[in-house]
């Protein structure tokens, strides 16, 4: 299969792929591998996501494709540093925030790139499938918080679930919050979702939420364990949290290095969570054994609850 031989049952996926490759034909081999690795349920989810992405991109599709290329090339630069030094380049959150999170132009590129990665990266589709299982297992009703909603697709999915009684999201980036609001509006999410510019370390009311999502956030922090302590305080008894990080995944704003999936699971247990489900999936083109051996990207996620202690 080449990237342009996708089934006719995936018209919106084909549209995204063909537009991206028209602007960046050198990406063909990667996308061919990515789609060849997907089973039928993953392809159906890919098409559903592609439909949403086209709705969100609207007349900005070429801009989104440019953002995706920018993101991939920026990550390649960080990958070269990681291979030479065995660590991420970024070490200080304040510097990263100034250079990226508070830079509207850079954050727009980043948000556009991450949006298309939900279609183009097989491991992101795998995580999306695991996330949907998480939402299906939430109590009825549930009060939901997502910290760092990014492109907003996960938040929209949770907010549209019939069991969702209330939904909120926090982020420190105005550009990210704007992208999230645009996502909710364009996907016509009818539920009211409260968006707030707020740090993960400002978690307040104890036990407020029965569902908390912190997806691809911990690797951006200098002290992710402290952030998890705040998440635990705000998770209601019997509630659940979805936590997702990439291992060995250098990026311009990644600070904390998770070298192995067990790094995440152990951190969660040490923070006072019970890990109910564990999930890990390697990046495109790699087996799990090779990814572990060569320190290649692995997307990891867990569904957790309280351990019952204070």
* Domain count along the chain: 2
- Residue 128 in any domain: the answer is no
- Residue 127 in any domain: the answer is no
Q: For residues 296 and 147, state if they share a domain.
A: yes
Is 159 in contact with 145 (CB distance < 8 Å)?
A: no
* Residue 29 to residue 149: CA distance in whole angstroms: 30
Q: Give residue 4's pLDDT.
A: 59
Taking alpha carbons only, the member of 91, 68, 48 closest to residue 223 is 91
Residues 291-310: pLDDT tens digits? 999 999 999 999 999 877 66
Q: Give residue 294's pLDDT.
A: 97
Q: For residues 149 and 112, state if they share a domain.
A: no
- The CA-atom distances, in angstroms, between 304 and each of 166, 183, 212 are 20, 27, 10
Q: For residues 84 and 57, state if they share a domain.
A: yes
User: How many CB atoms are located within 10 Å of the residue 125 CB?
Assistant: 25
Q: Which residues of 155-191 are buried (b: 16+ CB within 10 A; e: fewer)?
A: bbbbbbbeebebbbbbbbbebbbbbbeebbeebebee
**Quick one: what percent of the chain has pLDDT higher than 90?**
88
- Residue 130 in any domain: the answer is no
Tokens of 128: 């999306």
Residues 54-111: pLDDT tens digits? 999 999 999 999 999 999 999 999 999 999 999 999 999 999 999 999 899 999 999 9
Q: For residues 46 and 192, state if they share a domain.
A: no
User: How many CB atoms are located within 10 Å of the residue 97 CB?
Assistant: 16
Residues 175-203: pLDDT tens digits? 889 999 999 999 999 989 999 999 888 86
**Which domain range does residue 95 map to?**
11-120
């Amino acid at each position: 299969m080449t990237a342009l031989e996708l089934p006719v049952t995936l018209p919106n996926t084909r549209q995204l792929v063909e537009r991206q490759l028209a602007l960046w034909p050198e990406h063909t081999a990667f996308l061919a591998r990515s789609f060849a690795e997907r089973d039928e349920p993953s392809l159906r989810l890919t098409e559903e996501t592609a439909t949403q992405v086209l709705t969100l991109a609207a007349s900005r599709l070429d801009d989104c494709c440019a953002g995706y290329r920018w993101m991939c090339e920026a990550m390649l630069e960080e990958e070269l540093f990681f291979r030479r030094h065995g660590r991420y380049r970024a070490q200080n959150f304040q510097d990263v925030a100034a250079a990226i999170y508070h830079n509207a132009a850079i954050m727009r590129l980043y948000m556009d790139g991450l949006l298309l990665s939900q279609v183009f990266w097989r491991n992101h589709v795998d995580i999306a499938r695991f996330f949907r299982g998480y939402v299906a297992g939430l109590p009825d009703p549930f009060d939901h918080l997502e910290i760092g909603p990014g492109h907003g697709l996960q938040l929209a999915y949770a907010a549209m679930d019939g069991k969702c009684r209330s939904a909120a999201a926090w982020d420190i980036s105005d550009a990210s919050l704007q992208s999230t609001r645009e996502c909710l509006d364009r996907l016509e999410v009818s539920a009211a979702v409260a968006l707030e510019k707020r740090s993960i370390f400002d978690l307040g009311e104890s036990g407020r939420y029965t569902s908390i999502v912190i997806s691809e956030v911990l690797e951006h922090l200098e002290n992710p364990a402290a952030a998890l302590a705040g998440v635990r305080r705000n998770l209601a008894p019997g509630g659940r949290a979805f936590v997702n990080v990439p291992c060995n995944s250098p990026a311009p704003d990644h600070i904390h290095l998770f070298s192995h999936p067990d790094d995440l699971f152990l951190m969660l247990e040490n923070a006072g969570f019970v890990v109910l489900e564990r999930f890990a999936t390697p990046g495109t083109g790699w087996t799990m054994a090779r990814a572990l051996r060569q320190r290649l990207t692995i997307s990891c996620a867990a569904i957790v609850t309280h351990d019952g202690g204070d």
